[in-house]
Amino acid sequence: MAEAQGMSAQNWVALINRPSLEEFSLAFSKDATLDASVLREPMVGAPDIRRFFDATRTMYESIAFVHETTSISHSYLSWEGLFAGKEVAGVTVLHRDEASFIKHIALYHRPFDQVLAFSAELIKLLNRSS
């Protein structure tokens, strides 16, 4: 069974900060996907998901999880932060498969102006790292 079962905000932060792609990948299904309001299309596979989080972690001036709820197959993590000197907030939804591997991440940012600004900066960073 994968280690993603019962994914708390603290465990999620530890996961996305793992030092290697190999360690990071242990929590994901082979075909895991990330859909985000700041992306034009989903990212597929642990390597691309890792690349997304490597880029976004450099973009926030601050970020903190403020609420979490976990069910058998989903974890809902609400967060608030600062990007480019302005407030940003959202929710991260982690969907696990029957073996408890993360198979889908839905990541939503708000407000709309911050979605657009964040997306533009993220695209620049991802293009540099590909």
Q: Considering its fold, how many domains does the chain have in total?
A: 1
Any domain includes 1: no
Question: What is each CA distance from 11 to 3, 36, 117, in whole angstroms?
Answer: 10, 20, 28
Any domain includes 93: yes
Task: Report if pTM > 0.75.
Answer: yes
Any domain includes 3: no
- Determine how many CB atoms are found less than 10 A away from the CB of residue 90: 21
Q: How many Å apart are CA 39 and CA 20, to the nearest integer?
A: 24
Any domain includes 113: yes
Position 7 confidence tier, pLDDT thresholds 50, 70, 90:
confident
Please tell me whether residue 95 adopts helix, strand or coil conformation.
strand
pLDDT of res. 5: 52
Mean pLDDT of the chain: 93
Any domain includes 2: no
State the residue range of the domain holding 115. Answer: 9-129
Give the DSSP H or E segment for 116. Answer: helix 112-129
Q: Which two tokens stand for residue 128?
A: 């540099």
List pLDDT tens digits, range 37-63. Answer: 999 999 999 999 999 999 999 999 999
Q: Which two tokens stand for residue 83?
A: 């990007």
Any domain includes 30: yes
Any domain includes 74: yes
